[in-house]
């Protein structure tokens, strides 16, 4: 169908332009076109209300024929294109005073989950394409906010070893300024230990404190398509052990924030786990001083 091809063209555009400069206007335009393309596509899909096993959160799923999408949070998904437009204008100008936290979270969540939903319906079992888009989308948002184009590798020089270490996104704000190490995951589960391990390698190679670890996540929901039940899979005690014994992640930003992870703000070892909007509305100093 025409709108799907249009969406995929924009996605390919993001990948092509994003390789060189994730902070570029080309990437911004591709994301904008993709976002509205997904809205158009999904407006012709049906909706199934899901049975939510997650306290205080309701979810639905888009469907077309016998294909259906992952779980989508009712209160975060918006069909208000004007809200998406406002968010994109704020992003492009790196000026977020005119948008509320709630609206920022809604717009970010909607753009991210909409593309995932389209791919769920069109390409059953494809986890890679949604993950790749989410990485580019988050990378672009962080690049706009920090006003720097990220790298995805760093040089390592250790006596007779000279090599390049592939990394998640690295935002280097310049001499005597912080450098951010930003892994991006649609969901984490037991694979999340990789995030702390990469932080540990950066701490080891460059010294503790040189890279500030910030994780960006979409959600932790899991949908049982037969029973139409949504659960959240969270491992807060394992996060605490990783924070104590592997390395320190300073901040974690979720589009659909699980309550058990939000509580890690309150216990030792403290991890700054917040909603997506907090990264754009709070002073970045919160990550440097806590």
Chain residues in the site for a copy of itself (CB under 8 A): 125, 156, 158, 161, 163, 165-166, 190-191, 193-194, 196-198, 200-201, 203-205, 237-238, 240-242, 244-246
Q: Give the nearest distance from C-beta 186 to a copy of itself in angstroms.
A: 16
Decide whether 97 or 237 has the Cβ nearer to a copy of itself: 237
Complex with a copy of itself: residue 243 or 275, whichever CB lies closer: 243
CB 59 within 8 A of CB 225: no
Q: Is 15 helix (H, G, I), strand (E, B) or coil?
A: helix
Q: Which is nearer to a copy of itself, 13 or 236 (CB)?
A: 236
Q: Which is nearer to a copy of itself, 163 or 266 (CB)?
A: 163
DSSP code of residue 155: E
At residue 90, what are phi and psi to the nearest 5 degrees? -60, -45
Residue labelled with tokens 């014994």: 245
Integer Cα distance of 167 and 165 in angstroms: 6
CB of 204 to a copy of itself, least distance (A): 3
Are 263 and 236 within 8 A, CB to CB? yes
Q: Closer to a copy of itself by CB, 13 or 269: give it.
A: 269
Specify the residue, 65 or 125, whose C-beta has the smaller distance to a copy of itself: 125
Q: Cβ of residue 142: shortest distance to a copy of itself, in angstroms?
A: 22
Token reading at 256: 């659909």
> Of the two residues 87 and 196, which places its CB atom closer to a copy of itself in the complex?
196
Neighbouring C-beta atoms of residue 163, cutoff 10 Å: 9
* Shortest distance (Å) from residue 141 CB to a copy of itself: 24
Where does 50-197 show beta strands of DSSP type E?
A: 51-52, 59-64, 67-68, 72-73, 151-158, 161-172, 179-182, 184-185
* CB of residue 237 to a copy of itself, shortest distance in Å: 5
From the DSSP assignment, how many helices (H) and strands (E) are in the chain? 10, 14
Angle at 222 between CA 220 and CA 226, to 5 degrees: 170
Rounded to the nearest 5°, which phi and psi values hold at 204?
Answer: -70, -45
Minimum Å distance from CB 249 to a copy of itself? 13
Contacts for 27 with CB less than 8 Å, ≥ 6 apart = 13, 14, 17, 18, 21, 136, 140
State in angstroms the smallest separation of the CB of 91 from a copy of itself.
30
């Amino acid at each position: 169908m025409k709108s799907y091809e249009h969406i995929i063209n924009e996605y390919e555009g993001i990948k092509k332009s994003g390789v060189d400069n994730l902070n570029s206007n080309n990437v911004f335009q591709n994301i904008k076109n993709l976002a509205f393309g997904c809205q158009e596509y999904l407006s012709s899909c049906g909706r199934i209300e899901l049975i939510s096993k997650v306290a205080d959160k309701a979810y639905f799923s888009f469907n077309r024929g016998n294909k259906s999408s992952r779980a989508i949070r009712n209160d975060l998904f918006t069909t208000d294109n004007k809200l998406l437009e406002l968010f994109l204008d704020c992003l492009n100008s790196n000026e977020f005073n005119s948008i509320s936290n709630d609206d920022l979270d809604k717009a970010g969540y909607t753009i991210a989950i909409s593309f995932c939903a389209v791919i769920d319906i069109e390409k059953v079992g494809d986890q890679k394409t949604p993950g790749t888009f989410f990485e580019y989308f988050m990378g672009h948002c962080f690049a706009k906010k920090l006003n720097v184009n990220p790298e995805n590798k760093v040089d390592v020089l250790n006596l007779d070893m000279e090599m390049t270490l592939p990394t998640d996104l690295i935002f280097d704000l310049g001499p005597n300024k912080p450098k951010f190490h930003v892994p991006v995951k649609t969901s984490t589960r037991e694979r999340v230990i990789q995030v702390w391990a990469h932080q540990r390698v950066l701490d080891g190679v460059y010294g503790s404190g040189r890279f500030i670890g910030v994780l960006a996540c979409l959600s932790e929901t899991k949908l049982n398509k037969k029973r139409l039940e949504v659960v959240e899979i969270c491992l807060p005690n394992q996060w605490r052990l990783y924070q104590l014994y592997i390395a320190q992640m300073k901040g974690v930003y979720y589009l659909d924030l699980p309550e058990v992870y939000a509580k890690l703000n309150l216990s030792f070892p403290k991890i700054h786990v917040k909603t997506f909007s907090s990264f754009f509305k709070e002073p970045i100093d919160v990550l440097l001083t806590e």
